[in-house]
Chain A
Amino acid sequence: EVQLLESGGGLVQPGGSLRLSCAASGFTFSNYAMSWVRQAPGKGLEWVSAISGSGGSTYYADSVKGRFTISRDNSKNTLYLQMNSLRAEDTAVYYCAKGYYTSSSLSWFDPWGQGSLVTVSS
């Protein structure tokens, strides 16, 4: 069974940093692009970032470009999202999600992790 388990969320002050992790199991992790998608409280879904299966290509939404960094460790079957210079508007549940293709960030997502809540507040 394919499973994704996020961790690392929590409360952080504006301007602070946080690193999310997503542990994957049940599939050959390096064969698939992975993404982060977030959902602000009571709001809809927003794609944040994606990375190819090899880790050689990364993609970001304009809203996080220059502040967030996506990476992966295929030896550990783990996806990461390093979030710096956090703002109140970054408050959201962050989901990791498996893409269908190896290289392209453009894909439907299946499955999704259970999500990790990031709250940016003083």
Chain B
Amino acid sequence: ERVMTQSPATLSVSPGDRATLSCRASQSVSSNLAWYQQKPGQAPRLLIYGASTRATGIPARFSGSGSGTEFTLTISSLQSEDFAVYYCQQYDTRPGTFGQGTKLEIK
């Protein structure tokens, strides 16, 4: 099973600043990686798939990069609605596994 490790667990950033979230896979997952955003009481929402392709309707301030074992989600200029928990997910090898999440909070 591929273990996905996200860092940091909590990230405090000011509105308007850039946020960089990391996700590391225990073995290569190629580019088979997705990112999700989850707000309290809501279902996860797909942001990125294929490591770097934005899902439909996702603002351009969200970008993904990486391949193999190291991945990054960057939010270029944080808006108030971006403060949430973010999860990465590998879908390269069964079972598809998620990281434990990074909570992005207002500084």
Contacts and interface: CB of A to CB of B under 8 A. Distances in A.
A45 B87 contact: yes
A20 to B, nearest CB: 14
B99 A44 contact: yes
B46 A110 contact: yes
Interface residues of A, number: 20
Nearest to A61: B95
A110 B91 contact: no
Nearest to A96: B43
Instruction: Decide if the interface of chain B is mainly helix, strand, loop or mixed.
Output: loop
A27 interface: no
A95 B91 contact: no
A106 B96 CA distance: 6
Interface in A94-122: 95, 100, 105-115
Given A44-B87, A45-B89, A59 B43 contact: no
Interface string B71-107: 0000000000000000101011111111111000000
5 shortest A-B CB distances, which residue pairs? A108-B34, A110-B46, A112-B43, A108-B49, A45-B98
